[in-house]
């Protein structure tokens, strides 16, 4: 599989894009889908016109078929005013919807043992991330999108700020990682599932 401009070769079977600008949402989408389907241009188009059907090349389809997220204006609420990314959850959800997938917010009040991981395509976490200016750490935090995905039976942390994918192990490993992230507070977990799984609610174990 070819690598995106911001991607680094790591494990042969694991696709991992590295951080560029404020494009962590784009990287999280591509990492959770394990291929380069979205670009900054595609995300900007979604900000203005909503989800669109992507061709196999990953280009946006007919925008007239998609609902509008926000008007085509400089003050778009779904991205950075500077045009460097920083996309919000609406862009991620719309992008996945355009591929026929669905998203479900995980209720952090539920025990993670109820999460039916085999029914989940991947996970996208929203975490607070410290800011820095050169070597100087700033007392500010921005939101950062991180993808988790199983590849060949192993779950990986595909954070675009990592130099390479971080193996989390089996289901117990990913649950431990999620528990640690949720325990720190200010962490939200978005489940990426098929439409069928969303409709049946089988991402949640009831036994």
Instruction: List the catalytic residues.
Output: 24, 144, 159
Please give the Cα distance from 201 to 177 (Å, whole number). 23
Sign of CA dihedral 194, 197, 199, 201: negative
* Strands lying side by side in the sheet with 188-194: 101-105, 188-194, 122-133, 136-151, 154-157, 166-169
CA angle, 130 then 135 then 138, to 5°? 35
């Amino acid at each position: 599989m070819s690598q995106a401009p911001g991607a680094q070769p790591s494990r042969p079977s694991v696709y991992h894009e590295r951080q560029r600008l404020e494009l962590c949402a784009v990287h999280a989408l591509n990492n959770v889908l394990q291929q380069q389907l979205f670009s900054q241009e595609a995300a900007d188009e979604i900000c203005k016109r909503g989800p669109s059907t992507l061709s196999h090349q990953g280009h946006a389809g007919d925008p007239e078929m998609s609902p509008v997220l926000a008007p085509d204006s400089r003050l778009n609420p779904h991205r950075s005013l500077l045009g460097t990314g920083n996309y919000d959850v609406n862009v991620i959800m719309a992008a996945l919807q355009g591929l026929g997938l669905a998203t479900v917010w995980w209720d952090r009040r539920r025990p993670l043992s109820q999460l039916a991981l085999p029914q989940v395509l991947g996970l996208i976490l929203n975490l607070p991330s410290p800011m820095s200016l050169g070597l100087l750490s700033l007392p500010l935090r921005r939101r950062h999108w991180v993808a988790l995905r199983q590849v060949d039976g192993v779950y990986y942390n595909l954070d675009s700020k990592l130099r390479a994918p971080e193996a989390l192990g089996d289901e117990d490993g990913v649950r431990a990682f999620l528990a640690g992230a949720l325990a720190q507070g200010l962490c939200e977990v978005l489940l990426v599932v098929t439409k069928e799984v969303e409709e049946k609610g089988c991402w949640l174990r009831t036994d």
